């Protein structure tokens, strides 16, 4: 559904993207992870037609984003990092406008609105002004709006940023439900546990290049299963082990204050780049 080959973008003398390539198959959740400035936002802007590429190829469901922009834009829905709903309109009015922008017929808009309000569990909020909604409800409405025209691809740019853990997990459940309906999902996030839970495949982006791509389990297994954190040289250091028994052996006769835990995706990213995702 998403094909990116040798994608490049230059801003002045800085290469925001330097030969990025990946594919995302139908029904897959693809996690695109990296620190601020790595090129994640630039990639999404190019994939959604908001920024022109300098080189490479981008196809969404077979359509080139620059050669066939209208066909491409019909293929995807976008949930931006920052809320851009019309705060002075009601929940259902926001859905109506989005449907009209996609040239949907009024009967189809009415039917789809009913489906989506049920889907995102906001039936009882249909007449409520958006400005009165909680952060979690606004996020759910953003997702519902992006699905209004039944796209095959959904771009989620930091979909749970700023939400508390309980609401974040509710959004995760909604994302899983969307995937089960066959939608392909492109996800950027700074929440490591979010990518571990949701993504089928993950790409690590650093300084405009993909440094690794695989399933979360495979990326973590590449450095071990257990980690020991300790303070050394006035900074937190980590040692990785293939088994818990090996980690325990390392702890014998060592100083207090060491922490044993499972390896996570951020460990894998740091081991490859020396940088944190946050």
pLDDT in tens, 74-117: 999 999 989 999 999 999 999 999 999 999 999 999 999 999 99
Question: Considering the chain, what is the average pLDDT of its residues?
Answer: 93
Task: Supply the pLDDT for residue 259.
Answer: 83
Q: Is the pLDDT of residue 218 over 90?
A: yes
CB burial of residue 236 (10 Å; 0-12, 13-18, 19+): exposed
CB 265 within 8 A of CB 33: yes
Report the top-level CATH class of 2-215: alpha beta
Task: Supply the pLDDT for residue 256.
Answer: 67
Q: Is the pLDDT of residue 7 over 80?
A: yes
pLDDT in tens, 163-215: 889 999 999 999 999 999 999 999 999 888 999 999 999 999 999 999 999 99
b/e sequence 73-101, b meaning 16+ C-beta within 10 Å: bbbbbbbbbeeebeeeebbbbbbbbbbee
Task: Supply the pLDDT for residue 236.
Answer: 81
Task: Supply the pLDDT for residue 255.
Answer: 67
Give pTM, 2 decimals. Answer: 0.91
């Amino acid at each position: 559904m998403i094909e990116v080959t040798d994608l490049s973008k230059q801003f002045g003398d800085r290469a925001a993207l330097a030969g990025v390539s990946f594919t995302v198959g139908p029904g897959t959740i693809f996690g695109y992870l990296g620190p601020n400035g790595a090129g994640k936002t630039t990639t999404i802007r190019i994939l959604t037609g908001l920024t022109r590429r300098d080189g490479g190829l981008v196809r969404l469901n077979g359509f080139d984003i620059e050669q066939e922009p209208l066909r491409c834009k019909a293929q995807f829905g976008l949930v931006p990092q920052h809320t851009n709903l019309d705060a002075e309109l009601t929940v259902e009015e926001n859905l109506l406008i989005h449907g009209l922008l996609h040239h949907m017929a009024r009967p189809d808009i009415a039917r789809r609105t009913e489906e989506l309000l049920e889907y995102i569990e906001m039936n009882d909020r249909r007449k409520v002004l958006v400005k009165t909604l909680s952060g979690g409800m606004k996020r759910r409405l953003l997702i519902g709006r992006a699905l209004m025209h039944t796209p095959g691809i959904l771009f989620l740019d930091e979909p749970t940023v700023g939400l508390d853990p309980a609401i974040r997990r509710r959004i995760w459940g909604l994302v899983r439900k969307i995937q089960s309906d066959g939608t392909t999902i492109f996800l950027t996030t700074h929440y490591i546990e979010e990518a571990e839970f949701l993504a089928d495949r993950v790409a690590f982006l650093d300084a405009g290049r993909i440094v690794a791509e695989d399933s979360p389990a495979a990326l973590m297994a590449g450095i071990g299963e257990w980690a020991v954190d300790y303070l050394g040289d006035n900074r937190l250091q980590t040692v990785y082990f293939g088994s818990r028994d090996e980690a325990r052996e390392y702890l014998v006769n060592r100083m207090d204050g060491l922490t044993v835990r499972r390896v996570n995706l951020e460990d894998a990213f740091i081991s490859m780049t020396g940088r944190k995702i946050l």
